[in-house]
Chain A
Amino acid sequence: MDFRDTAEEARFRGELRGWLAEHSPPEAVAGGRPDDEGARAWSRRLYDAGYVGLTWPTEYGGRGLPYTYQAILVEELARYGARGHLGTIGLNMAGPTILAWGSEEQKRRLLPPLLAGDEIWCQGFSEPGAGSDLGAVRTTAAADSEHQGDGEHQDDGKHWDDGEHWVVNGQKVWSSYAHLADWCILVVRTDPAAAKHAGLSYLLVDMHAPGVDVRPLTQLTGDPEFNEIFLTDVRVPRGSMLGKPGDGWQVAMTTLLHERGTLGFLLVAALERQLGLLVKLARETAPDGRRPADDPLLRDAIAREWTVLQGLRFTNYRSLTALMRTGIPGPEGSVAKLVWSEANQRLTALALSMQGLAAQLDGPDAVWDGYWQYQQLRSRGNTIEAGTSEILRNIVAERVVGLPRSR
């Protein structure tokens, strides 16, 4: 048990702080809304400095460092108020899945540009009829036996194209970054006759292929942060599958395990940053002339959220230790997203309550140009995206506590 950095970790943290002090002006809080182009430039700078893919194998562009270094990176980025990486789906979901299931050729072709931020990834799991129930996926991929080797699809260097294809048809939804993405991790049904989960397969789909149509969906925040993806006769090279036909469920579980495992650090970092801003807000004079930091009830509520943040932080560290010892995150890790999402909702609502009736203003007339208005509305998605809180509680109850299946 030692909560301190080792000498090497301390050196890494020191270098990183020096680099951040030079390169990372704190993100302007104006609105705090997504800024794709700013995020793209920042992602590139992080990559050029060697701070992307710290834990990934060196042969695919990573640095082969232990997970603690990634934890330090995420902590320090949050501390400096640095914006997120644009390639978060690639780094946290697609990449680890390709590392686990991909062929050597797929890894060499896909991972370096993913790390560099030259190719952005999105996720095609959910459908109008398949939300929490991934087994209900109806998007199909059929073997295209008629057109074998007809050379219709140009080999643009993105494909290991031997002329054989899957032809994909269907619709995906709630896909963040799809409007920017070059690639999609897509769960499809390849065997309509097989039982629910057994008929699924996992494809890596070129988002620039003919037949891929991305339509933005406006969120309740007013921002088009996620998208629908319509797939019409999209021809996907046969070599673009991870695993074999029918392995889709297992491959997808790898993706979700990594999403719920390593994302914990990002979530704690985001919450720490949010709490720091809440403290700042509480110490300012509110539009009604009062100072929230003088209100004992608000002080109590802030202390509660700080306590939950610390609990979450050290729970993540325990999970990290398990990950480093066994290669898989410990069961503690399954609670991170559940706790974070509800904490972020409480915290952002608290920020609005500090503004009184003036919280009903948004944009340039609002406190901090509407930062908290956006954050609070956006936070309602936190208990839905990446596994609803209901599904996460099922997972904790069934797989961790060992209660009987609920369905």
Chain B
Amino acid sequence: MDFAFSAEQEALRAAARDFLAERVPLPKVAALADTDPGWDPAIWGALVGLGWLDADLGVLEHAVLLEEAGYALLPAPFFATVALAWPASDGRSRLTLAWAEPGLPAGLAEVDSPGTRVAGDGTVTGHKTLVPDAGWVDAFVVRCAGGALRLVPAAAATVRPLSTVDTTRRLAEVRFDRAPSEPVVAELATVRRRALALAAAESVGVARRALDIAAEHARSRTQFDRPIGSYQAVSHRVADTYTAVQLATSLAIWAAWCVTEDDPAADQACAAATSYAGPAAVRACETAIQVLGGIGMTWEHPIHRFYKRAQWLAAFDTGGRAQRADIAAALLG
């Protein structure tokens, strides 16, 4: 048994942390989030250059990178490419997954896609919604009727941005009208497992940043002549965030490992990791807002941007309740 990351994985983490701190500091994230197109496409070449899309990276390596991307709140279609559309990756292209349809449950593998059809000539026609990063990608992996996945170039799609809470991960409606496509050789269930494990990893990063923001403020903010972190009403909430971050981290690592190894426990591990880590990130941000006080309620302070990402993560796929229902079904029949 060995439950630690390898030296190479730790080096990858350190390099990612340094790169993101330098290239997308929080003021830059805020500036991008409040304008169009919402990200700096120039960063993509740098990510490719760093090897973040290399074919030999495993789920654990991508978990490490996505935890750091969550910590930095990187605005880029990186999660969409490696967590949602990885089977179609060519090591360079920006990709996302278009799965949900209007009027239907939005889980990755919850229902079929009756409104998206592949014709005999391979063209795709359909209407998708809640597609993340749709305006930032080169191509879409499209979930079609019967569970088939097809790759459609962005040029063949019509994207209508939706007014989105988290402007660092913008959602859109996407329409395909006899769009040319290629098959993507992957099972939807496999895509979902990977997506859940990596959503958990990103949630850990968001939660860890919220913890750091809360702890830093609790150390430096003075009231009644004492740092507010010396009051247990404050410090115990921060301690609870730390505790939740530890559990979320452990679950996310376990899930990523299970996906890597195609472990029999993978489905439950992924459901556990996502349903715990997403809400843990939400609570971590809520605690941070409370510890920050009035400044936490302002647009100026970055915490609301993490909070909104956390809310997307907690709602991702079927949301925690349905994921726990899957766990309960395995336990209780």
A, B: real partners: yes
Tell me if B235 counts as interface (CB < 8 A to partner A).
yes
Q: A300-B328, A311-B250 are known contacts. Are A1 and B60 too (CB-CB below 8 A)?
A: yes
Q: How far is the CA of A4 from the CA of B263 in the complex (A)?
A: 10
Complex Cα spacing A302 to B272, Å? 12
> Which residues of chain B come closer than 8 Å to A24, judged between CB atoms?
none
Q: Does B254 contact A (CB under 8 A)?
A: yes
Binds A, one of B2-10, B115-123, B186-194: B2-10
Quick one: given A310-B254, A335-B242, A404-B227, are A394 and B324 in contact (CB under 8 Å)?
no
A318-B247 in contact given A300-B321, A401-B211, A401-B239 (Cβ < 8 Å): no
The residues of A that contact B333 with a CB separation of less than 8 Å are: 283, 293
| B1-22 vs A, Cβ < 8 Å mask (1 yes, 0 no) | 1111110010000000000000
**What chain A residues lie within 8 Å of B211 (beta carbons)?**
401
Residue B331, interface by CB 8 Å: yes
Query: Is there contact, CB below 8 Å, between A393 and B1?
Result: no
What is the distance, in angstroms, from B142's C-beta to the closest C-beta of chain A? 32
Complex-state Cα separation, A5 to B3, whole angstroms: 11
Inter-chain contact B250/A314, CB cutoff 8 Å:
yes
B230 contacts the other chain (CB 8 A)? yes
Q: Which residue of B lies closest to A310 (CB)?
A: B272
A311 and B247 contacting across the interface, CB-CB below 8 Å? yes
B1 contacts A403, CB within 8 Å? no
A401 with B215: CB separation less than 8 A: yes
**Do A406 and B327 form a contact, CB below 8 Å, given A1-B257, A393-B240?**
no
Contact indicator A4/B1 (Cβ below 8 Å): yes
Candidates B232, B238, B250; contact of A390 at CB < 8 Å: B232
Q: Are B247 and A339 in contact (CB-based, < 8 A)? A: yes
- The binding surface of chain A is classed by DSSP as helix
Q: How far is B230's CA from A339's CA once the two chains are assembled, in angstroms?
A: 22
Chain B residues, Cβ within 8 Å of A250: none
B238, A401: Cβ atoms closer than 8 Å: yes
Cβ contacts B34-72/A at 8 Å (1 or 0 each): 000000000000000000000000001000000000000
| Complex: chain A residue closest to B248, CB-CB | A311
Q: Is the CB of B324 within 8 A of A1?
A: no
Q: Closest Cβ of chain B: how far from A223's Cβ, in Å?
A: 31
Q: Are A315 and B250 in touch, CB under 8 angstroms?
A: yes
Bitwise, B148-163 to A at CB < 8 A (1) or not (0) is 0000000000000000
Instruction: State A332–B254 Cα separation when bound (angstroms).
Output: 15
Taking CB atoms and an 8 Å cut-off, the chain A residues in 363-407 that contact chain B are 390, 393-394, 396-398, 400-406
Partner of A314, one of B60, B238, B242, B254: B254
B253 at interface by CB-CB < 8 Å? yes
Q: Which residues of chain A come closer than 8 Å to B5, judged between CB atoms? A: 1
Closest residue of chain A to B323 (Cβ to Cβ) is A303
Query: Is the beta-carbon distance between A402 and B219 smaller than 8 angstroms?
Result: yes
> What are the residues of chain A within 8 A of B298 when measuring CB–CB?
none
Chain A 334-348, CB-CB to B under 8 Å as 1, else 0, gives 010011000000000
Contact A6 B1 (CB under 8 A): yes
Out of B238, B240, B328, which one reaches A403, CB within 8 Å? B238
Interface range on chain A: under 10, 10 to 19, 20 to 34, or 35 or more?
35 or more
- The residue on A at minimum CB distance from B5 is A1
| Residues of the A chain whose Cβ atoms lie less than 8 Å from the Cβ of B236 | 390, 393-394, 397
- Flag whether B299 is at the interface (Cβ < 8 A): no
Q: B296 near A: Cβ within 8 Å?
A: no
Scoring A303, A312, A318, A322 by chain B CB atoms within 10 A of each residue's CB, the highest score goes to: A303
Please indicate the chain A residues that have their CB under 8 angstroms from the CB of B242 in the complex. 335, 396-397, 400-401
B9 — which chain A residues lie within 8 A by C-beta? 1
Interface positions, chain B 271-306, Cβ under 8 Å from A, are 272, 275-276
B165 at the interface (CB under 8 A from A): no
**Is A406 a contact partner of B231 (Cβ separation < 8 A)?**
yes
Are B250 and A307 in contact, with the CB atoms below 8 A? no
A225 to B249, CA, bound (A): 37
Return A60 CB to nearest CB of chain B, in Å.
25
Identify 26 residue pairs between A and B in the complex whose beta-carbon atoms are under 8 Å apart, listed by A's number: A2-B257, A3-B263, A9-B1, A68-B1, A299-B324, A299-B328, A300-B324, A304-B324, A310-B272, A311-B251, A311-B272, A311-B276, A314-B251, A314-B253, A318-B253, A321-B1, A335-B246, A339-B243, A393-B232, A393-B240, A394-B232, A397-B235, A401-B211, A402-B219, A403-B215, A404-B219
Give the interface of B toward A (CB within 8 A). 1-6, 9, 60, 211, 215, 218-219, 226-227, 229-232, 235-236, 238-240, 242-243, 246-251, 253-254, 257, 261, 263, 269, 272, 275-276, 321, 324-325, 327-328, 331-333
* 4 A-B pairs with the lowest CB-CB distances in the bound complex, closest first: A311-B247, A314-B250, A303-B324, A403-B229
Using CB atoms and an 8 Å cutoff, list the residues of chain A in contact with chain B.
1-6, 9, 68, 71, 279, 282-283, 293, 296, 299-300, 302-304, 306-308, 310-315, 317-318, 320-322, 325, 332, 335, 338-339, 390, 393-394, 396-398, 400-406
Given contacts A279-B331, A403-B218, 10 further A-B contacts (CB under 8 A): A1-B9, A6-B1, A71-B1, A299-B325, A300-B321, A307-B251, A311-B250, A397-B239, A401-B238, A403-B229
